[in-house]
Homo-oligomer: A and B are copies of this chain.
């Protein structure tokens, strides 16, 4: 904004080649995520990111002041834009729908590798913790919609403990896929959905 100050009459809006290339920015984001997945955030080298994107290092340092700011921008831009789980009219099938979508997200090799690394980094750095919290909040909103519908429908009590319910929904699948490293079949998801529904009714 400083460039458009009134007392700086000589400046003019950047134009032509002087405006950042959106294409390269996109390539940098992608390269950053791939490097993150391959090496982990702590060992991530911006030099490698630049090389992978086919760009110079200055291209990065002009856009982002630090690795963390870069990561923040990346997650903001290409962060897992999980779709809202559909309304199937019943709790258990809603939960199944939620699990199916979560499985789709966790199937992406990049996501599966980056997520635990993000959590590990969040435990170490305050800044990364803030980023993680932001990502988590977006995720929680999706689950909340599901719960609200179930309460409105009468499938779950008004007194439902939403906080714990929101933990319960994704935890088991995350554990199985990220911690154990196995992807459950749709049939298994049905089993989990049934079990989780029972757990939710108890909250």
Contacts and interface: CB of A to CB of B under 8 A. Distances in A.
Interface string A159-174: 0010010011011101
Interface residues of A, number: 49
Interface string A188-203: 1001101111111111
A115 to B, nearest CB: 8
A176 B172 contact: no
Contact of A201 (B38, B117, B136, B198): B198
A121 interface: yes
- Copies per complex of this chain: 2
Contacts of A80: none
A50 interface: no
Q: Is the interface of A mostly helix, strand, loop or mixed?
A: helix
Given A42-B42, A164-B192, A174-B175, 19 more contacts: A39-B42, A39-B124, A43-B43, A114-B120, A116-B116, A117-B120, A119-B179, A122-B181, A133-B181, A164-B191, A168-B172, A171-B175, A174-B179, A175-B175, A194-B202, A196-B199, A198-B201, A199-B199, A199-B202
7 contacts: A40-B40, A113-B123, A122-B181, A132-B181, A136-B180, A195-B203, A199-B202
